[in-house]
Structure 1
């Protein structure tokens, strides 16, 4: 281990920052509720132990030297790190989590989450947020294994308690020139088996293929709706996709909705779940509250239907 001992203190750097930010010793002293002489002494001592001049007084104003500008920038990183560390200690004392994981079923339109995350950023106290796209049984694994703090899912596992959040919808689509698109009327499901289906990969560690809508023997698997959309728009296969993904391409004539006999679309309910139940932390609960406040029965979700 190094025997190095710091020559300076965090308080000295905070005083230097205050002198610069408030335009001089007098205003900085008032802001910090300290005497002007104590600030003068702290900055003088700082310059002495460093062996460089940080400030020079011009008229009544203290201005940074070139070296002072460099040191000030680096000192702000130091004091912010100390602030974050102290906030983390407070958070841990209060049970406030240092990290929150949000797992979202991919059929959920993320647009309403933008104001949620903007508000959460201010309320999070520096908590790190991880957002994970999940599909089918991958979402359910996060609930059963309690590996996520907040989950948006289309399916409530047995014994789980969830708050209804929004509806979701999946439509069967393909390229306008695809053979399936040539039907003017609804056609039988048996015709799907003759064509390539694009499916979204189940994110579970142990996926169960009975979940979902797999009607074709020929299947290509992709990891995200965006990749599925790209393939279907190029004329490859058909896919079940949510309207928030397809609506622009349908308006532009790049995709066509298919009318399947007895199943023109698939619809369901999305729920918000706290997998850890009563053990959910205060930050996870705050995030869940914000999601429900902004997204529950969201008109943008309904309009997409």
Structure 2
């Protein structure tokens, strides 16, 4: 199918509408007044529709012109994005990034900077993989991720501080531990514990106090919260996760000598100097976001 009109014609009409006059649009497009008039008249001739009228020296779109331009704007925006993508591909921008994020990390710390990243990048897709314990380390050492949010720095992989997460013991409002003013570790050992498993394939790690006689092991904190709210046991949760739990449904325990501990988070580029421009740009945005959280 051969089209009657061109993108250039619709862009001319859009600029005239934006500028409010043919002369102003000519300046914006660096073209002559006569060239723009000819382009619009040609477009009207091709479509058989009057697009523009002049009122008090102002160029105003007719109702038909407004209707058609409204639909053409999507086409113009898509053409602009195509050119941006082409430029990014020429510059070697990656088509996809893999981001490994430790399950302790507040997800907002990742997704808020990512929104800024996508404002400038229309060609790179992002795959987010949640990790924990040994899998966090494996993703870095195997260079399986372009960016990794980790707990402790990993040997031979430079990293930057990214934040600190406080871990607190929590139970449902109806759990027996909720009635104790200051439960001790002996009380916890006789209660069921909900823990998040190490997602690594080998050399699995255990972290924290794990002396309860009975456990429920789940894949992530989403499951842990659900199990906890059902009264199935107590669980240590990140403070940012606890803030999203209705205050009337759970209780933070004041455990004797073990009320809370803190886990530092770091960010690293597992591929180092081999990292592409998109990975480096998003990494920089993530680092800059640390200052806005302080």
Residues 171-250 of structure 1 mapped to structure 2, 5 A cutoff: 171-188=168-185, 192=188, 194-200=190-196, 206=201, 210-212=205-207, 217-219=214-216, 221=218, 223=220, 225-247=221-243
Alignment coverage as a number of residue pairs: 291
| Structure 1 residue 288: Cα displacement | 1.7
User: Superposition pairs for residues 13-162 of structure 1, below 5 Å?
Assistant: 13-111=10-108, 116-117=113-114, 119-122=116-119, 124-128=120-124, 130=126, 132=128, 134-136=130-132, 137-162=134-159
Distance 1:248 1:5 in 2: 56
Cα distance in 2, alignment partners of residues 271 and 35 from structure 1: 56
Q: Give me the whole-angstrom Cα distance separating, in 1, the residues matched to 2:244 and 2:53.
A: 60
Report the TM-score when normalising by structure 2: 0.81
Aligned partner (choices 293, 296, 299) of residue 288 of structure 2: 293
Q: 1:192 to 1:91 in 2, by over 3 A?
A: same
> Cα distance 1:200–1:238, how it changes in 2: closer, same or farther (>3 A)?
same
Question: Hey, what's the Cα distance between the residues in 2 that align with 1:183 and 1:77?
Answer: 62
Going from structure 1 to structure 2, the CA distance change for 1:49 and 1:139 (only over 3 Å counts) comes to farther
How far the C-alpha of 1:45 sits from its partner, in A, is 1.3
Cα distance in 2 for residues equivalent to 1:70 and 1:291: 42
Change over 3 Å in CA distance of 1:13–1:215 after alignment to 2: farther
**Runs of at least 5 residues in structure 2 that lack an aligned partner in the other structure:** none
Cα gap change, 1:207 to 1:239, in 2 (>3 Å): farther
Tell me what 1:270 maps to. 265
| 3-state SS in 2 of match to 1:164 | strand
- Alpha-carbon offset, residue 145 of structure 1: 4.4
Q: Gaps spanning 5+ residues in structure 1: where?
A: 300-305
Whole-Å separation in 1 of the counterparts to 2:138 and 2:48:
59
1:256 to 1:283, Cα distance in 2 relative to 1, 3 A: same
Measure how far apart 1:273 and its partner are.
Answer: 1.0
SS at match of 2:165: strand
Separation in structure 2 between the aligned mates of residue 154 and residue 121 of structure 1, nearest angstrom: 26
TM-score, structure 1 normalization: 0.78
Deviates more, 1:87-96 or 1:273-282: 87-96
Shift in CA distance, 116/56, structure 1 to aligned 2, threshold 3 Å: same
Q: CA RMSD in A?
A: 3.3
Give every structure 1 segment of 4 or more consecutive aligned residues whose post-TM-superposition deviation is greater than 6 Å.
Answer: none
